[in-house]
Amino acid sequence: MKALALHLALIGALLAVQVVLPPYHYTNVARVMVLAVYAMGYNIAFGYTGLLSLGHALFFAAGMYATGLAVHSAPALLALPLGMLAGAAMALAVGLLALRTAGVAFMIVTLMFAQAGYLTILYYGPVTGGDEGFVLAREARMLAGLDLSADGPRYLTALAIFGVALLANLALVRSGFGRVMVAMRENEERSRMLGYDPFRTKLIALTLSGLYSGTAGAAYALMFGYVGASFAAIQYSILPLLWVLLGGAGTVLGPFFGALLMFYLIDLSSSVTDASNLVVGVALLVLVLFAPKGILGTIRERGARWLP
């Protein structure tokens, strides 16, 4: 009950805050919300199920390109679910192969698949625009009458997607299946002894994770009107890992706060220095060294045990 109220309060706060946000931050927070959906998807695989993937950019890009290419000839209302499904289908396909491995090998296999995906996008340059990507026309970005290139509808759409994703995430981790996912993370052998199928559980978790990532990619394409190969690059597989680690792996709200903090950390530091990669690198090191549980993970440890 307390947890549900907290999450509803966050959604309410994000709804209220748009009245006071200046235009620059208005766009940024919308962006952070979409990226937070991506981070939540990553968290389902990494934080709850213990699958450290280095290839989530593939799922994000699958959603992004499926939607971006489909809006050329179909309404956005149809292209958006297509992108979501593309993310999930890609995750399912990768999972069927990659989940035969575990640990370090799993990381390398996902990394390699994502790299192959990135190169494939470059290879089919005439269709995908290669390195430069392509821009979506304003008319293509009308979602059921909402003009997503305008600030207001964009923020509200982002909030709607974020809100649904957040509550679904909360429901998932509190369900029986969510507990089985955590069991896989904590002790795979013991869960197998108790009669749970590790492969099946992990595959479902990874597919859900791909669904979230694809949703984020599809929404990002529609809301910001740009589809590019850089979103499929290794950088975009590392970033959600960073956000989740910062916010707290295995917490529902962690990905959002991690994405928010990291976004503004890079944003602020870019006015001081152009060494944004340094910020990312140092943040990763500091996190694994001194705060492996992240912000919300630490709060949960220090008293708020009920935090989901």
Residues that bind other proteins in the complex, under the rule CB under 8 A:
52, 54, 97-98, 100-101, 103-105, 107-109, 112-113, 115-116, 119-120, 122-123, 238, 241, 245, 275, 277-278, 280-285, 287-289, 292
Name 205's Cβ contacts closer than 8 Å, sequence gap at least 6. 44, 45, 48, 49, 51, 181, 184
Minimum CB–partner distance for residue 283 and other proteins (Å) = 7
Cβ proximity to other proteins: between 206 and 287 the closer is 287
Indicate the helix (H) or strand (E) that contains 297: helix 294-301
Closest by CA to 80, choosing from 136, 3, 163, is 136
Cβ proximity to other proteins: between 98 and 170 the closer is 98
Cβ proximity to other proteins: between 124 and 306 the closer is 124
- Contact of 86 with 214, CB cutoff 8 Å: yes
Q: DSSP for 98-136?
A: HTTS-THHHHHHHHHHHHHHHHHHHHTHHHH-TTT-EEP
Minimum CB–partner distance for residue 120 and other proteins (Å) = 6
- Helices 254-272 & 23-43 angle (0-180, nearest 10): 130
- For residue 45, the 8-state DSSP code is I
Minimum CB–partner distance for residue 132 and other proteins (Å) = 15
Q: Is 175 helix (H, G, I), strand (E, B) or coil?
A: coil
Structure tokens at 305: 């045990």
Minimum CB–partner distance for residue 187 and other proteins (Å) = 16
Cβ proximity to other proteins: between 171 and 285 the closer is 285
Minimum CB–partner distance for residue 12 and other proteins (Å) = 34
- Contact of 223 with 34, CB cutoff 8 Å: yes
CA pair distance 213, 35, nearest whole angstrom: 9
Minimum CB–partner distance for residue 103 and other proteins (Å) = 6
Cβ proximity to other proteins: between 77 and 97 the closer is 97
Cβ proximity to other proteins: between 152 and 281 the closer is 281
Minimum CB–partner distance for residue 270 and other proteins (Å) = 13
Cβ proximity to other proteins: between 123 and 306 the closer is 123
Cβ proximity to other proteins: between 115 and 169 the closer is 115
- Encode 97-118: b = buried (16+ Cβ within 10 Å), e = exposed: ebbeeeeeebbebbbebbbebb
Structure tokens at 155: 């923020």
CA pair distance 264, 100, nearest whole angstrom: 38
Minimum CB–partner distance for residue 128 and other proteins (Å) = 12
